[in-house]
Every structure is written in structure tokens, then in C-alpha cells.
Amino acid sequence: MEGKRNIAIGFLTMGVFMAYGFLLIYLRDFAPGKEDWIANYGLGAHFESRLAHVHGNLFAFLNILVGYLLLRFKDDLTNVKTISWLSLIGLLMPLGILAEIYLGAPPIFVLLGAIAMTTSVIWLGVSFFKMKTIK
């Protein structure tokens, strides 16, 4: 199961953040009051929304990649389940940015997600270094 869930959730998350990108394009180019949106493009919520879009797609892709590698090398790697869950928890980072923007949530979710994703990537890298051979 580990790996498969990362791939499925990764693709679904990527689809959501790609659609969010279309919303950002609409707000910048077509929405009423787009001039104000463009004027504030690099500030506050506008900047944060772009961070969420970019990190959402990056972290979704990382989940797809981590999931594939965990499935492919599950018999040769240790701590597969932990790495899988840390990678999924990493999605809290871009979701936390959106929660900050739209719900006024505290940044704790951003920090937890960033730490979890970073830990999963480093742990997977170390696990590959410790592997005897790649089949």
C-alpha cells in the first residue's frame, strides 16, 4: 500500500493545484478589478497564493516520485511506511498556505508540512545510500 497511496494522492493533489493555477490566471488576466490584483501581485495574499500553487504542484510531484520509488524498491529499503507518511504529511505545507490565506489559520501547518517533506526526502536519500545494490 505504501507508495501507491502517495502516487494516487500526488496526482489528485497536482490536479487540484493545477486547477488553482487556472483561478490565479483568471484573477490576474480576466477578473473584474484585475488591475488591483496585478498591482498587488508580489505582495501579501497574492504572493502567498502563488507560493501555494507552486509548492502544491512540487510536493504533489514529490509524492508521485517517492511513491514510485517506494513501490519499486520496497523490498530493499527500510522504513518505507514512515517515509511514505512523511511525504504525504508534507502536503500540509501548501495546504497550510491556502488555509492561512483563506481561513486565517496559523502557520503551524506550513511548518509541519515543510519539515515532514524535507525529512522524507532526506530519509529516502539516506536509505538509497545504505542499499547494497539496485536491482
Residue 99 maps to a domain: yes
Q: Is residue 85 part of a domain?
A: yes
Q: Which H or E run includes 91? A: none
* Assigned domain for 84 exists: yes
Percent of the chain with pLDDT over 70: 99
Total tally of structural domains belonging to the chain: 1
Q: What pLDDT, in 10s, does the model give residues 49-61?
A: 999 999 999 999 9
Nearest one of 11, 9, 1, 45 to 27, comparing CA atoms: 45
pLDDT digits (tens, 9 = 90+) for 69-106: 999 999 999 999 999 999 999 999 999 999 999 999 99
User: From CA 92, how far away is CA 60, in angstroms rounded?
Assistant: 11
Q: What are the φ/ψ torsions at residue 32 (nearest 5 degrees)?
A: -60, 140
What letter represents residue 82's amino acid? Answer: T
* pTM reported for the whole predicted model: 0.92
User: Domain of 107?
Assistant: 4-130
Instruction: Please say whether the beta carbons of 94 and 17 come within 8 A.
Output: yes
Domain contains 135: no
52 domain-assigned: yes
CA dist., res. 95 & res. 60, Å (int):
11
